[in-house]
Amino acid sequence: MTNDNDIADKENEALEHNRSARLDVLSKHLIDSLQPRRPYYAAVTRFSISIAVCAVYLLLLNLFMPMRTSMINEDMFQVDIVLSWGIGISALYAALALMVPCDTKEAVKRIILPSVLAVVFLAWTFLRTYNDLAHEHNYMMMYSFKHCFWDGLIFIIAPMVLFIEFARRGASTAPTLLHIMIVLSVSGFGWGCLRFSCANDEPAHVFIFHFMPFVATGGLSVFFSRFLFRSI
């Protein structure tokens, strides 16, 4: 019994000592350095703040940039707005959930709706642009209103700064997905606003001057997502 006990003691002590020593020191340090900290805002709170900020920002911009609010009665326009702001809102909700550590299953569940809406939007935009370019296209119209990209930047600047700030305060375990969702959300919001502000309804113009700059800028920035949002 004593012999067995000794062997077991030595065997276990040697194993456990090596494995636990470093972790014990770290645990002690972590416990000693613990301070009370204010919990990060819940996703619903951040969502409400974001929507409120976007709405107020849009109303303020309305004072300086005339919006074509009467267009809301047109069917095609309604589809554009529902799709783009639908993407904006659902991607925002997904991004807010991805700003804190969450498992893969939950992350996938969150991104389904914005992804489906984005695919529908792409198909809708491509189809209209193709039809427009193939028939009855007025190329002069397409190149007019080239200031749209800069207007678009003005529309997205406040939401973008807010979303990035929320993301940097969080701790994402899916920084690339989070970045894609923020790009989708900001682009959806900006694209919808541009439809209100720009008087050119040519599908080719809308595709090239409203859509492509967002896609190109957002797509390129995704490569830097690990540096931008990696706060964990």
Partner 1 sequence: MIGEEQKAFYKNWNTLAAAAQAGDKRAYSTLIEQLIPFARSVLAGKLAELDWIDDVVQDALISAHKALPTYQVGRSFKAWFTAILYYRKTDYLRKVYARKNHQTSSFDELIEKNMDPDVTIPTHIAEYDHVEKLLEQIPQKQRDLFILARIEGYTAKEVANMKNMSESAVKVSVHRTSKKLKELLS
Binding partner 1 (rule: CB under 8 A), the pick from 86, 88, 152, 170 is 170
Does 99 bind partner 1 (CB under 8 A)? Our answer is yes
Site mask for partner 1 (CB under 8 A), range 110-149, x = bound: ----------------------------------------
CA dist., res. 187 & res. 104, Å (int) = 25
Evaluate whether 166 touches 50 at the Cβ level (below 8 Å).
yes
Minimum separation from the CB atom of position 22 to partner 1 (A): 6
Q: Are 175 and 100 a contacting pair, CB within 8 Å?
A: no
**Could you give the CA distance from residue 202 to residue 137 in angstroms, rounded to a whole number?**
9
26 binds partner 1 (CB under 8 A): yes
Q: Where is 193: in which H helix or E strand?
A: helix 175-197
Using CB under 8 A, pick the residue from 60, 78, 101, 116 that binds partner 1: 101
Q: Is 40 in the site for partner 1 (CB under 8 A)?
A: yes
Of 102, 120, 153, 164, which lies in the binding site for partner 1, with binding defined by CB under 8 A?
A: 102
Backbone phi, then psi, for 231, in 5-degree steps? Answer: -105, 0
Among 59, 103, 112, 161, binds partner 1 (CB under 8 A): 103
Is residue 3 close enough to count as binding partner 1 by CB under 8 A?
Answer: no
* From 153, 171, 208, 222, residue interacting with partner 1 (rule: CB under 8 A): 171
Stretch that binds partner 1, among 76-84, 142-150, 153-161, 171-179 (CB under 8 A): 171-179
Single residue of 14, 42, 157, 216 touching partner 1 by CB under 8 A = 42
Residues that bind partner 1 (CB under 8 A): 1, 4-5, 7-9, 11-12, 16, 19-20, 22-23, 26-27, 30-40, 42-43, 99-104, 106, 170-171, 173-174, 231-232
